[in-house]
Amino acid sequence: MERPNILWLESLSSRGIRPGLDNIRGLLAALGDPQKGLRTVHVAGSDGKGSVCCMLESILRSAGYRTGMFTSPHILRVNESVRIDGEDISDVLLDGYLSKVREASSDSGIECTNFEALTACAILAFRTENVDIAIIEVGMGGRLDATNVVEPEVTVINGISLEHTRYLGPDIASIASEKAGIMKAGVPCVTANTGEALKVIEDRAEELSCPLTVVDRDDVTVTELASDHTAVRYGCSTYRIGIPGSYQGCNAAVAVEAVRLLRDADRIIQFIPIGLDSAYWPVRMEKIDGFPLIVDGTHTRKGAEYLAKDIPLIYGKVVLVTAMLEDKDLEGVAEILSGIATEVLVSAPDSPRAADPEALASHYRKHHSKVTVCGSIGEAVEQALKKDGYILVTGSFRTAEECLRWLKARR
């Protein structure tokens, strides 16, 4: 059955990416400014921000809070981006709130982008459905991201890497400055950054009188790494995290510190262990049942470094299936992931921002002797399944999506 409001939302993708806050402010004003007074944690970063959001949601729900969570991009269905009380928004609710956003857009004459419309939809849903607290993930950057209209109680800036350079700037300092744009005067902030990125965040915190909590990665020790969970020691506590990957230890520490900064932290802190244990987030080193496949959304050099560290410890060397977007660090990721691959199968995701597979393959050929370009991600996975050993599919969330869709059709 056709859903006109979903088709309208999808049609907005043709407007591309348009950083700026005028549209979203106008759209929300036409909807009654539902962001005002909405209790919010605002999360930015290049790596791990989705995992931090997921952990915060799980902790708060364990403590009995009704949560809203907005993340992007989705993997299979747009409903995944808007979660209420731990569940993807229903088709009925999503259609209803998109209808209101569509009407507001038409009445106000605001030609919004896909992301602006979805952001407005999520905020309106959270306010109308009376969530206790909303966890909002930045889409890209921070300063000019459509989510930067919320009134946060706590902000989070997770690890920063070289990404979206066309929009955010050519270096880490420029990108950190954009992400630090979510910081608000007097509002506490948590970060896990170091070096140049941390210096930018510290300067911004001083300028705005923001209490700044810096998670020291040396205080996080991974005590167990498995295909379905990670155990870490942070400070004087040990936590079991329901998401695999050593990098989830730092993400968990960031989530813990963010919880400690909430105004009612005393009611929530005791639920941190159970919340972290029950956290689940797809395509983060996710082992697919029934197949020798690990699917992951990593798209930065830093993320690749963690994969290169963790994958061999759990699975040994792997057949690598990869496809990326053109505004990522193709050379950096290729250099890192080549070392854990017995061979590399390269393709392109179905996206106007897809990196040319021949160009991506050329980066891998600098570091690996067995590199093949395939016509599609499905074709690459099919070829990989004929080979021995485990297969790692990574490079972008669109790559993960196409792999999962191909598997669903195959099943």
What is the per-residue pLDDT across 273-293, written as a single tens digit (0 to 9) for each?
999 999 999 999 999 999 999
How does residue 143 score in pLDDT terms, banded at 50, 70 and 90?
A: very high
Average pLDDT over residues 360-386: 98
- Based on the domain organization, do 263 and 318 belong to the same domain? no
Average pLDDT over residues 15-24: 93
CB contact at 8 A, 17 and 115: yes
Q: Round to whole Å and give the CA distance between 221 and 238.
A: 9
Which residues does 267 contact at the CB level (< 8 Å), separation at least 6?
A: 63
Pair of tokens at residue 407? 């598997």
CA atoms within 13 Å, Cβ hemisphere of 158:
29
Decide if 168 contacts 174 (C-beta within 8 A). yes
Same domain, yes or no: 373 and 314 = yes
What confidence tens digit (pLDDT) does each residue in 116-133 have?
999 999 999 999 999 999
pLDDT in the model for residue 233: 98
The dihedrals phi and psi of 34, each to the nearest 5 degrees, come to: -65, -15
Shared domain check, 86 and 25: yes
Give how many domains the chain has, as a whole number.
2
pLDDT at 180: 97
pLDDT band for position 168 (cuts 50, 70, 90): confident
Query: 196 and 331 share a domain?
Result: no
Pairing status of strand 67-70 against strand 82-84: antiparallel
Rounded Cα distance between 45 and 298, Å, is 13
Structural domain ending residue among the three candidates 210, 242, 277: 277
Q: What is the DSSP letter of 231?
A: E
Distance CA(395)–CA(351), nearest Å, equals 13
Q: What is the pLDDT of residue 164?
A: 77
Q: Which of 291, 292, 237 is nearest to 260 (CA)?
A: 237
Q: For tokens 């700044």, what's the residue?
A: 212
pLDDT band at 170 (very low <50, low <70, confident <90, very high): confident
Boundary-marking domain end, from 244, 260, 277? 277
**pLDDT value at residue 16:** 87
Query: Helix 172-179 crosses helix 195-208 at what angle (to 10 degrees)?
Result: 30
CATH number for the domain spanning 125: value is: 3.40.1190.10
Return the bridge partners of 373, or none: 346
- The rounded percent of the chain whose pLDDT value lies above 70 is 100
Q: To the nearest 10°, the Cα dihedral for 100, 102, 107, 111? A: 140
160 and 52 assigned to the same domain: yes
Mean pLDDT for 28-44 is: 98
Clarify whether residues 227 and 369 are in a common domain: no
Angle between helices 114-128 and 22-30 (to 10 degrees): 40
Domain stop point among 246, 277, 308: 277
What is the distance, to the nearest Å, from the Cα of residue 264 to the centroid of all Cα atoms in its chain? 26
Residues 292 and 167 in one domain: no
Q: Which helix (H) or strand (E) holds 403?
A: helix 397-410
What's the CA gap between 411 and 407, in Å, rounded? 6
pLDDT at 47 (0 to 100): 87
- Please check whether residues 137 and 210 belong to one and the same domain: yes
Q: Is 214 left (phi over 0), alpha (psi -120 to 50) or beta?
A: beta
Token output for 108: 């106000």
pLDDT at 411 over 80: no
The residue segments making up the domain with residue 400 are 286-410
Q: In sequence order, what are the beta bridge partners of 295?
A: 286, 393
Region 3-13: mean pLDDT is 93
Question: Which pLDDT score, from 0 to 100, does residue 163 have?
Answer: 77
Kindly report, residue by residue over 229-284, the tens digit of the pLDDT.
999 999 999 999 999 999 999 999 999 999 999 999 999 999 999 999 999 999 99
Q: How many CB atoms lie within 10 A of CB 130?
A: 9
At residue 44, the 3 state secondary structure works out as: strand
Question: Residue 320's pLDDT band (boundaries 50, 70, 90)?
Answer: very high
Dihedral of CA 178/245/231/136: which sign? positive
CATH code of the domain in which 310 resides = 3.90.190.20
Question: What is the arithmetic mean of pLDDT over 386-399?
Answer: 96
Amino acid 304: pLDDT: 95
Q: How far is CA 243 from CA 127, 221, 323, 328, in A?
A: 29, 16, 23, 25
Reading the block at residue 49, the tokens are: 């921000």
- If asked whether residues 310 and 239 sit together in one domain, one would say no
Q: Do 9 and 129 lie in a common domain? A: yes
CA angle 49, 121, 64 (to 5 degrees): 60
- Cα angle: 6, vertex 9, 14; to 5 degrees: 135
Is residue 1 pLDDT above 60, yes or no? no
Whether 217 and 245 map to the same domain: the answer is yes
Helical H segments across 180-328, by residue range: 195-208, 248-260, 265-268, 272-277, 301-315
Residue 2: predicted pLDDT: 59
Assess whether 170 and 24 both reside in one domain.
yes
| Three-state SS at 342 | strand
